[in-house]
């Protein structure tokens, strides 16, 4: 019998947050803001690369208590927090990046998020120069999915002229809804699917995973989800079409996940950072349009992080050989770009 996870705080619906974004928000206090500014100055004045600064280099008096609470909420709580109050207006981007890096180092260990080896990434539309860019560098709609790390965080620096609404869904809630409404489909999702690595495999790695990636998996009583529909679709294009039953299982999951019953929609404002547990929370984004001024294009900063107290997961959940603490292995001269048959996340 498939277990139900009513005791897991990562099982939630929008109805649990009647005030919307405010119900999952933590505000940076004045003392914490002063701490962040001091940390940014230390990084920028050091002459050292920002990525060389670790947690011990960046003490957080005035913010440590809040960050510890955020970390607990991400690893063992609801799996989602919005940290508000980063000073992004009229600040040099390098200073904002340094403040975000300092916070990230207290939440986990940043890992490479693409073959470029970037541990602090920019989410912005580059399709004018790279039409095959990975979808986080494009402006089209992204379907609900998980990223490839324990924790992901996005800090909004600039909103788009139009669109760019963020969407979040509890994967635990969708699992239990399927267990109650469509139990006959869950075995397919537990079995999982081969995934295409979209050209970001390490040297010596195959373009498609050698094993099935479980959509749902359990370990030590914790449910985890790993899902990007187009990575599954691209692998199936090369290996052979999915069965009708497999398509039905994925379609049912998608329909539930994007329904108003389960999907929370918020607009991230400049200075707000969402932090998520990638095994418990799915995220998506509506399409967006930038204005004519290139200097005001939509921009979010992104961190992928290995948690210091991670949710227990099965090894089969990993797509890349570097594993949860390594992210995507860098390759010299490579870019996260892949000519595909459908948009992908």
Is residue 339 a part of any domain in this protein?
no
Distance between CA 235 and CA 193 in Å, rounded?
Answer: 9
Is residue 262 a part of any domain in this protein?
yes
What pLDDT does residue 269 have? Answer: 98
Instruction: Judge whether residue 343 has pLDDT over 60.
Output: no
Is residue 332 a part of any domain in this protein?
no
What pLDDT does residue 103 have? Answer: 98
How much of the chain is helix, strand and coil, in % rounded to 5? 30, 20, 45
Q: What's the structural domain count of the chain?
A: 1
Using a pLDDT cut of 90, give the percent of the chain over it.
Answer: 87
* Helix ranges, 166-319 (H): 171-181, 186-191, 229-239, 244-258
Is residue 38 a part of any domain in this protein?
yes
Is residue 6 a part of any domain in this protein?
no
Is residue 118 a part of any domain in this protein?
yes
Owning domain of residue 197: 14-317
Is residue 225 a part of any domain in this protein?
yes
CATH number, domain with residue 303: 3.60.130.10
- For residue 5, give the nearest of 184, 261, 177, 186 by alpha carbon: 177
Distance between CA 57 and CA 43 in Å, rounded?
Answer: 9
Is residue 138 a part of any domain in this protein?
yes
pLDDT in tens, 107-150: 999 999 999 999 999 999 988 888 777 777 788 899 999 999 99
């Amino acid at each position: 019998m498939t277990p139900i996870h009513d005791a897991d705080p990562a099982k939630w619906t929008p109805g649990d947050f009647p005030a919307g974004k405010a119900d999952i928000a933590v505000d940076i206090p004045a003392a914490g803001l002063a701490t962040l500014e001091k940390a940014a100055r230390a990084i920028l004045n050091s002459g050292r690369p920002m990525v060389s600064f670790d947690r011990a280099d960046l003490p957080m008096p005035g913010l440590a208590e809040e960050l510890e609470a955020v970390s607990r909420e991400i690893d063992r709580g609801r799996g989602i927090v919005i940290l508000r109050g980063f000073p992004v207006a009229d600040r040099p981007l390098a200073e904002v990046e340094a403040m975000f890096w300092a916070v990230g180092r207290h939440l986990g260990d940043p890992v490479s998020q693409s073959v470029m080896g970037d541990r602090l990434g920019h989410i912005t539309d580059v399709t004018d120069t790279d039409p095959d860019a990975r979808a986080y560098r494009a402006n089209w709609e992204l379907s609900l999915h998980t990223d490839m790390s324990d924790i992901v965080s996005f800090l909004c620096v600039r909103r788009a002229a139009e669109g760019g609404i963020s969407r979040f869904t509890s994967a635990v809630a969708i699992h239990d809804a399927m267990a109650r409404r469509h139990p006959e489909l869950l075995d397919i999702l537990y079995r999982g699917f081969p995934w295409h690595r979209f050209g970001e495999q390490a040297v010596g790695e195959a373009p498609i995973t050698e094993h099935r990636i479980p959509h749902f998996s359990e370990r030590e009583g914790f449910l985890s989800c790993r899902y990007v529909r187009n990575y599954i679709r691209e692998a199936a294009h090369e290996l052979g079409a999915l069965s009708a039953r497999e398509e039905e299982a994925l379609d049912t999951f998608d329909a539930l996940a994007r329904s108003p019953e389960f999907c929370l929609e918020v607009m991230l404002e400049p200075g707000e950072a969402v932090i998520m547990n990638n095994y418990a929370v799915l995220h998506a984004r509506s399409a967006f349009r930038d204005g004519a001024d290139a200097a005001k294009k939509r921009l979010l900063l992104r961190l992928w992080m290995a948690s210091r107290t991670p949710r227990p997961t099965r090894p089969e959940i990993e797509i890349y050989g570097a594993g949860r603490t390594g992210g995507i292995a860098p390759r010299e001269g490579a870019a996260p770009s892949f000519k595909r048959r459908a948009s992908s996340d």
